[in-house]
Chain A
Amino acid sequence: MGYQSRMSLDGSPAASRKLSRRGFVAGALACVAPVPAFAVAYEGDDPFPLPPYNYRNVPESFRPALVEYKGRQWPGTIIVDTSARQLSLILDGGMAMRFGCAVGKDGFRWAGLADVGRKVMWPKWTPPKEMIARSPEKAKWANGMPGGPDNPLGARALYLFQNGQDTLFRIHGTTEPQSIGKRASSGCIRMINQDVVELFRRAPIGARVVVMAEGV
């Protein structure tokens, strides 16, 4: 399964390239600082190793791609393009790693800045009271659902902080990969599990997250 890069983040056509997974990873590695040692340790410690994801049914614009980036955001910044339902990690050298994501449903979307304040592998999920009120069947998890393949937060979660406080919004994996590219969440940014694992490996705690407002 190859990855394709067809468009730059600013929407201008870029050279169309097909990259093998190995080429994609090698290319990306060439553009970023070495992955911290702890990330390798996380990968080896994964209690639920993931097989490669089959992106055949994922629209091309939501598949992982190495793309040109001509903007001025610093490398390491994560940009969520809410309108396009794409998440990009800015790399060195005028490049970015772009992934598809799901964003909040109508009435649940937000915009602003945040910092990655915490990273958790196979996170526990505790539905907020408001969610339990909307979906009473989730009350059984009021004290938390253990992390694992059936947990809606998926394989990884990056906790988003503002003003030093947990916003309760996360960038996380999913048990519903078919929701990628849609307005489907309660405000969190969902990614395919394999994609969020990749982001988790590369984005350190303290990474800046820009959630772009729609229609601006």
Chain B
Amino acid sequence: MISFMRAWAAVAVLAVVVAGCSSSSNPDIEPAIEAPAAPIAEPLATGPFTAAQIAKALGEKTFAYSGTGSGTVTFYADGTMSYEEAGKGSGTGIWQASDGSLCQARNPTSFLPKGTPSSCQPFSSDGMRYTAGSMQLQPSS
């Protein structure tokens, strides 16, 4: 008789536990809705970079640049680029990825009458921005 009562008590306890576990499925209780997380910028890949990786990192993307002047620059997949330099104006140029380096040259403009010679600088990243020589490139949001 005692063992029979113990068995019933165990079943009762189990029922309470199961009921507790399933309470979240009660349609009367709204599940908690998590607030949408603020978009987190995906960390940039860090080097060393092959030419293909540099081309993929920059191609068809716009960056805010600083270092030698500041402004925004867009690198196009066809090897051309356009930029807007703060306080000066817009211009175009060419770029090419090299293993471990980014090569750039700016075309002549009114504020840069001779353009710039071809220059290749070591390309790296700290996970937040890319660096090519003295130029820092921050992905534009």
Is B105 in contact with A208, judged by CB distance below 8 angstroms? Answer: yes
A122 on the interface (CB 8 Å rule)? no
* Given A72-B80, A163-B119: A213 touches B96 (CB 8 Å cut-off): yes
**B interface residues, tally (CB under 8 Å):** 22
Kindly identify, within residues 82 to 98 of chain B, every residue whose CB is under 8 Å from any CB belonging to chain A. Answer: 94-98
Is A113 in contact with B96, judged by CB distance below 8 angstroms? Answer: yes
Is A113 in contact with B80, judged by CB distance below 8 angstroms? Answer: no
**A interface residues, tally (CB under 8 Å):** 23
Is A113 in contact with B51, judged by CB distance below 8 angstroms? Answer: no
CB contacts (< 8 Å) of B105 on chain A: these are 113, 115, 208
Give which listed residue, B52, B80, B101, B118, contacts A216 with CB less than 8 A. B52
B79 on the interface (CB 8 Å rule)? yes
Q: Report the separation of the CA atoms of residues A209 and B80 in the bound assembly, to the nearest whole angstrom.
A: 13
- Interface of chain A, helix or strand or loop or mixed? loop
A49-81, CB under 8 A of B: which get 1 and which 0? 000000000000000000000011110010000
- Interface of chain B, helix or strand or loop or mixed? strand
Q: Report the separation of the CA atoms of residues A111 and B101 in the bound assembly, to the nearest whole angstrom.
A: 9
Is A112 in contact with B120, judged by CB distance below 8 angstroms? Answer: yes
* Given A74-B107, A215-B52, A216-B52: A111 touches B96 (CB 8 Å cut-off): yes
Contact surface of B with A, Cβ cutoff 8 Å: 51-52, 55, 76, 78-80, 94-99, 101, 103-105, 107, 117-120
30 CB-based A-B contacts, threshold 8 Å: A71-B79, A73-B78, A73-B80, A77-B94, A111-B51, A111-B97, A112-B101, A113-B95, A113-B96, A113-B103, A113-B105, A113-B118, A113-B119, A115-B105, A115-B118, A161-B117, A162-B118, A162-B119, A163-B117, A163-B119, A164-B117, A208-B94, A208-B105, A208-B118, A210-B79, A212-B96, A213-B52, A215-B52, A216-B55, A216-B97
